[in-house]
Amino acid sequence: MSDVMDDILKIFFEECDELLPELERGLGELSADVSDPETINAIFRAVHSVKGGAASFGLERLVRFAHVYESALDCLRSGQVKPDQTIIKTFFMAMDVLSDLVAEAKQTGDAVADDRIDDNLGKLEEIIGTSKDEAAPAQAEESAVPEGFVPVTVDLGAFDFDEPAEEEAATAAEPLIVTFRPHADLYSRGDDARNLLLGLKALLPEDQAQNMEVTCHRQTLPPLADASVDEGYLQWVVRLPTGATGPTEADIQAVFDWVSDVCDLTITQGEAPFEDDTQPEVEAAIEEPEPEPEPEREAEPLPQQQAAVAPTATSVPAASTKQTRKQEQHASIRVDTGRIGMLMDMVGEMVIGQASLESALFQQGGTQDQELLKRLAVLKTLTRDIQEAVMAIRAQPVRHVFQRMQRVVREASGLAGKDVRLILEGEETEIDRTLIENLTDPLTHMLRNAIDHGIENPAARQEAGKPAQGTIRLSARHRSGRILIEIQDDGGGINSQRVLQTAIKRGIVSPDAVLDENEINELIFAPGFSTAEAVSDLSGRGVGMDVVRQAIQNLGGRVTIKSRPGKGTLFTLSLPLTLAVLDGMLIECRGSVVVVPVSSVVELVTVNVKEDVYHLPDGSHVVSIRSRCIPLIYLGDELTLPREMNDMTGPNHMGRAGEEDQLMVLVVENEAGARAALVVDGVRDQAQVVIKSIEKNYRPIKGVSAATILGDGSVSLILDVSTLIVSATKRVDTRALEQVAARIA
Amino acid sequence: MSVDHKIQTGQQGDKAAAPSGNGREQMIIFTVGEQRYCIPILRIREIREFESPTYLPHCPPYVEGAINIRGNIVTVVNLAQYLGTAWQEDNERRVVIIIEGSTSRATCGLLVDSVIGITDIVLDEIQPISVDGGAAELSGLVSIGERVIRILQLDTLLARLLGADVISAAG
């Protein structure tokens, strides 16, 4: 049982992950001074669903907060408050608290401080407070009750009331008449009118309980043949005796609080307006009040609750069509990513199988059977289509990570005391799921940097003739098989003189280095570089842009930077669409084929062993390519590849670049700009390869990042160029290398 | 490990010592060099022909390399090297037994000289081997007829492949 609950709880958290971004997006749209009722409803629905779900799991703190939040949003929904900047800001802050509370319940985040909750609750209650004054006249109108109901008296004896039904004079005060009509949605949530009646009863002091009168109106109940099993037709009228200890209107409202959106409710003092018409006809036991079978109870909250129902008038057909449309918009299923991975693997195998079938056919002297060839071509197209379709399953819009950045900017600008607006563009651009997951950290860091270092203080901005509010534009778009993400701020740009001085101070470049503007800008990506004089909360923790560059490069991407002093800075991230495939250069080395990521290849050159290769005293080698010294790596030795039987090259492990004394070297570069030359035997091909993990079944291998499967079904290793370069440069005298690095920088 | 699966008597299994019931386990017997070894049949995913694997850099001597099994990269272990015995030269019957870890989902291939058959083993008849170091290559011995068959400890092997025990494995 607990397993079942855990599963349901997991579903709830997954839903929260969807609802919270929806809430954020809705709030973002509000800022644009357009209060589209659909948007407000969406916001309200999101908070409401979180609350509903949290309540079923007894997440008290979450429920308490969501409840007040919802009430405040309700004021917005009913038009009692206008969404001005302060209110929207309050809602945003509250949303942050809400998502932190969800994280707390999920046990992925720290406990949320009580005073932070109280602070936000206070602000939300202020909104509710202001609306109450204006709301009074509006509520009076709502008390109109549909006429002509035939009330049905319900025997309370069958209703768990343990006290004997004693006739007693009504209390002196006028009784409160509560009229409510549950909508079908109330039942579909697993709630029941009975619960509401019990709730009302609980309001009464014990000796008064038997004085509650419950009447069921079944006026709207159609003939049974016409009744829809999914609809709720019954209306209930409850007379509650009031008095010194009796319930107040607010108490009653509280009982209906959970269902306010799926239940019409009227509370009047004194006799109900239709009391004269009442003709009690049937005495019914309350255990079976509904003519319809009760919809299946679901423990999880329905994500598409019909939340926005006006208090009195509900047109049933309209409501149901609306519901259908909503569901169509969100027609999706949840699939375990592991299963998709499996599907990807199998499709990959299918591609290989198809290729081997083709090569087998052509190896036998080439078949002349035209029909066979035609069908093979159809199979080939189909295979490729399936592969693309499977890839597309993993693709998700970048919206998920972009939306999160709103909060980053909000918090960061709050801390820095700057006013910054984040504009999102191209949120619908789709990239692979794994990329999305890995983009959050680098983007967060870059945005914080832009706010901390890029955007100036409001005063400084106005002095420079710019609006006090800074703008950061975060955009995504596809370009030639890659995705481009741009972060553009309208701040002061990079102060190249200061960057250069810092770099010199930190020993990143030598004082006499001559660098152009771009090279200086690139320095901010150097490890250990941070221009912030004081370590601030935002950035400047020493893990600066080099970490960003590293993270992006790990994703197979590149970062470039453009800066115009006084105008702003533009960072461009260029990323592959998926992490599952890589552009690789297939190189041969001692009979093995290894893959080098094309992104790290600089050039392929042939060097002369006698003239260009130098032996260093410690046994390592460097090669001079266009008078630049680069550490030389004998790939075969580095990877301890077994020597081929017919390998006639001598103890110097020379490659076979054709002529004697010639070496074919592949110059590769890592993210820091350090280079190394790999001695290879030849280049076979360039191809997109599917990345496969080695570490699932084996330990990590130094110098190898992953493996892939070639067209013939054999396994080939993908080189980890970065590690290779680091290990090569460690062997070579470090001082010589610094010079190399300085020249590169 | 489940022992109450449906008992099937192997073709070359010792039928006399195989009354059905609990407390027994089906094992597959294979040879490495002159020795016979066995492993629980439930750990075996498949048996396939030996194909030349891709060499893995810096690997211990008993690792032959990696092969592709339906899109997964699986390491092949030369059991003769691993167990320190001689292997049969020019053996056409060499096969790779693909096995799976009992707790982890890790898989690996065992290069063996030939597969003999399946047998039922009464768990009580297994003589445990106590090793001070704990990480033993074998988990026990069992006599079938006149032969003593060694039971391979698969989890030790997988743990070594995954690098949990790199230093001692290299030594």
Pair A613, A732 in one domain: yes
Asked whether residue A389 falls in the same domain as residue A407, the answer is no
What pLDDT, on the 0 to 100 scale, is given for residue B95?
Answer: 92
**Dihedral-angle region of residue B118 (phi above 0 means left; psi in -120 to 50 means alpha; beta otherwise):** beta
pLDDT of A464 higher than 90: no
Average pLDDT over residues A234-239: 80
**A360: Cβ contacts below 8 Å, ≥ 6 apart:** none
Say which residues have a Cβ less than 8 Å from residue A466's Cβ, sequence separation at least 6: A456, A490
Q: Which of A688, A722, A690 is nearest to A705 (CA)?
A: A722
For residue A332, being part of any structural domain is answered with: no
Q: Which of A392, A336, A257, A307 is nearest to A23 (CA)?
A: A307
In chain B, which ranges are E strands? 24-32, 35-40, 44-49, 63-69, 72-78, 95-100, 107-112, 114-122, 127-128, 138-144, 147-152
Chain A residues within an 8 Å CB radius of B110? none
A481: nearest Cα among A418, A574, A381, A553: A574
**Per-residue 3-state assignment (H helix, E strand, C coil) for A242-279:** CCCCCCCHHHHHHHCHHHHHHEEEEEEECCCCCHHHCC
Helices (H), A417-516: 433-449, 458-463, 496-505
Which chain A residues are closer than 8 Å to B60 by Cβ?
none
Does residue A403 fall inside a structural domain?
yes
E strand map for A156-314: 176-182, 213-217, 235-240, 263-269
How confident is the model over A83-91, as a mean pLDDT? 80
DSSP A517-583: HHHHHHGGGSTT----SS--SSS-SS--HHHHHHHHHHTT-EEEEEEETTTEEEEEEEEES-SSEEE
CB neighbour class for A337 (10 Å; exposed up to 12, middle 13-18, buried from 19): exposed
Least CB–CB distance from B66: residue in A346, A641, A707: A707
CA R_g for chain A:
35
Residue A587 has a pLDDT of: 92
Nearest-angstrom CA–CA distance, A418 and A412: 9
Give the domain extent around A652.
581-744
The whole-angstrom separation of Cα A59 and Cα A51 is 9
Sheet hosting strand A704-709, strand order edge to edge: A682-690, A581-589, A592-597, A715-719, A704-709
Q: What is the pLDDT of residue B110?
A: 94
* Nearby residues of A43 by Cβ (< 8 Å), 6 or more positions away: A22, A23, A26, A27, A30, A73, A76, A91
Within an 8 Å CB–CB cutoff, is residue B68 touching chain A? yes
The confidence band for A694, taking pLDDT boundaries of 50, 70 and 90, is confident
Positive or negative, the Cα torsion across B157, B84, B61, B47? Answer: negative
Identify which of A19, A10, A119 has the alpha carbon closest to the alpha carbon of residue A57.
A10
Does residue B107 sit at the A interface (CB-CB below 8 Å)?
A: yes
| Residue carrying structure tokens 């619908």 | A428
Half-sphere CA count of A500, side-chain side, radius 13 A:
14
Decide if A340 touches B, using CB distance below 8 A: no
% of chain A surpassing 70 pLDDT:
75
Q: What was the pLDDT predicted at B115?
A: 92
Q: List the alpha helices (DSSP H) in A450-506.
A: 458-463, 496-505
Distance CA A297, CA A350 (A): 44
Q: What's the pLDDT score for residue B2? A: 38
Give a yes or no: residue A329 inside a domain: no
- Nearest-angstrom CA–CA distance, A13 and A19: 9
The most confident of the ranges A42-56, A195-209, A414-428, A647-661 is A414-428
A590, A642 contact by CB (below 8 A): yes
Count how many domains chain A has: 5
The CATH number of the domain holding residue A639 is 2.40.50.180
Residue B98 buriedness (CB in 10 A; 0-12 / 13-18 / 19+):
buried
User: What SS3 class is residue A660?
Assistant: coil
| Residue A327 domain-assigned (yes or no) | no
DSSP of A24-76, one letter per residue? HHHHHHHTTT---HHHHHHHHHHHHHHHHHHHHTT-HHHHHHHHHHHHHHHHH
Measured at the CA of A683, the angle between CA A677 and CA A685, to 5 degrees, comes to 130
Is A572 within 8 Å of chain B by CB? no
Angle, in degrees to the nearest 10, between helices A370-394 and A337-363 = 160
Tell me the H-state helices in A334-430: 337-363, 370-394, 399-416
User: Is residue A145 one of the residues assigned to a domain?
Assistant: no
Secondary structure letter of residue B33 according to DSSP: T
Selecting from A346, A699, A702 the residue whose C-beta is nearest the C-beta of B161 gives A699
Q: Which range among A347-351, A438-442, A717-721 has the greatest average pLDDT?
A: A717-721
**Judgement on whether residues A303 and A342 belong to the same structural domain of the protein:** no
Region at A226 (left for phi over 0; alpha for psi -120 to 50; beta for the rest): alpha
B162 touches chain A (CB under 8 A): yes
pLDDT at A472 over 70: yes
Q: Are residues A424 and A524 in the same domain?
A: yes
What pLDDT score does B78 carry? 92
The per-residue pLDDT for A744 is: 53
- B23 Cα to chain A: minimum distance (Å): 31
Going from N- to C-terminal start, the domains of chain B cover 24-170
A697/B163 CB distance under 8 A: no
For residues A63 and A182, membership in a common domain is answered with: no
Best residue in A699, A704, A709, A720 to probe B by mutation, most B CBs within 10 Å?
A699
Q: Which A residues 669-708 touch B at CB under 8 Å?
A: 692-694, 696-704, 707
Please report whether residue A97 resides in a domain.
Answer: yes
Interface test with A, best of B54, B59, B99 (most A CBs within 10 A): B54
Is residue B133 classed exposed, middle or buried when 0-12, 13-18 and 19+ CB atoms within 10 A define those classes? exposed
Q: pLDDT tier at A583 (50, 70, 90 boundaries)?
A: confident
B163/A346 Cβ within 8 A: no
In a domain, A485, yes or no: yes
For residue A356, give how far its alpha carbon lies from the nearest alpha carbon of chain B (Å).
14
All residues of chain A having their beta carbon less than 8 Å from the beta carbon of residue B53 are 715
Of A348, A697, A716, the CB nearest to B71: A348
Kind of pairing, strands B138-144 and B147-152? antiparallel
pLDDT in tens, A310-369: 344 434 444 444 444 444 455 677 778 788 878 877 887 787 778 778 777 777 666 677
Q: Residue A243 has what pLDDT?
A: 63
Instruction: Examine the domain organization and report whether A710 and A594 are in the same domain.
Output: yes
Residue ranges of chain B with per-residue pLDDT less than 50? 1-20, 165-171
What's the burial of B66, exposed, middle or buried (CB within 10 Å: 0-12/13-18/19+)? buried
- β-sheet bridge partners, residue B110: B77, B97
* B127 CA: distance to closest CA in chain A (Å): 30
From A349, A694, A702, residue closest to B73, measured CB to CB: A694
* Reported confidence tier of residue A293, pLDDT bands at 50, 70, 90: very low
| Segment A508-553, tens digit of pLDDT | 777 777 777 777 877 777 766 765 544 444 444 445 677 788 788 7
Contacts of B57 in chain A (CB under 8 A): 638-641, 701-704, 717
Residue of B nearest to A351 (CA): B71
Beta-carbon separation of A716 and B54 below 8 A: yes
d(CA B10, CA B26): 9
Q: How far is B3 from chain A (nearest CA, A)?
A: 26
Banded model confidence at residue A486, pLDDT cuts 50, 70, 90: very high
Q: Are residues A695 and A621 in the same domain?
A: yes
CA A629 from centroid of its chain's CA atoms: 46
Q: Is B108 on the interface with A (CB under 8 A)?
A: yes
Tell me the one-letter amino acid at A622.
V
Q: What is the pLDDT of residue A3?
A: 67
Q: Which of B58, B69, B74 to mutate to test the interface with A (most CBs of A within 10 A)?
A: B58
Distance from CA of A724 to the nearest CA of B (A): 13
pLDDT digits (tens, 9 = 90+) for A134-147: 444 444 444 444 44
B123 in contact with chain A, both atoms CB, cutoff 8 A: no
Q: Which residues does A658 contact at the CB level (< 8 Å), separation at least 6? A: none
CATH number for the domain spanning A105: value is 1.20.120.160
Residue pLDDT, tens place only, B123-144: 888 888 766 655 578 888 888 8
Chain A nearest-CA residue for B98: A697
- Contact call for B71 and A692, based on CB within 8 A: yes
pLDDT band of A169, cuts 50, 70, 90: very low
Closest CA to A126 of A68, A178, A184: A68
Q: Do B57 and A700 touch (CB under 8 A)?
A: no
Indicate the length of chain B as a whole number: 171
CATH class of the structural domain B24-170: mainly beta
Closest approach of A618 to chain B, Cα-based (Å): 22
**Antiparallel, parallel or unpaired: β A628-634 and A621-625:** antiparallel
Helix (H, G, I), strand (E, B) or coil at A141: helix
Cβ-based contacts of B58 with chain A (< 8 Å): 639-640, 701-703
Are A346 and A223 in the same domain? no
Sequence-separated (6 or more) residues with CB below 8 Å from residue A411: A96
User: For residue A465, what pLDDT is reported?
Assistant: 87
Same domain, A166 and A227: yes
Do A71 and A131 fall within a single domain?
yes
Token pair of A109, please?
């985040």
Chain B hits for A592, CB-CB cut-off 8 Å, are: 54-55
Name which of B56, B70, B75 is nearest A349 (Cβ-Cβ): B70
Which of A575, A594, A570, A596 is closest to A584 using CA atoms? A596
Interface check for A636 against chain B (CB to CB < 8 A): the answer is no
User: Are A230 and A250 in a shared domain?
Assistant: yes
Question: What is the torsional sign of CA A360, A365, A366, A368?
Answer: negative
A659: which DSSP letter?
S
Decide if A709 touches B, using CB distance below 8 A: yes
Residue B72 sits at the chain A interface (C-beta within 8 Å): yes
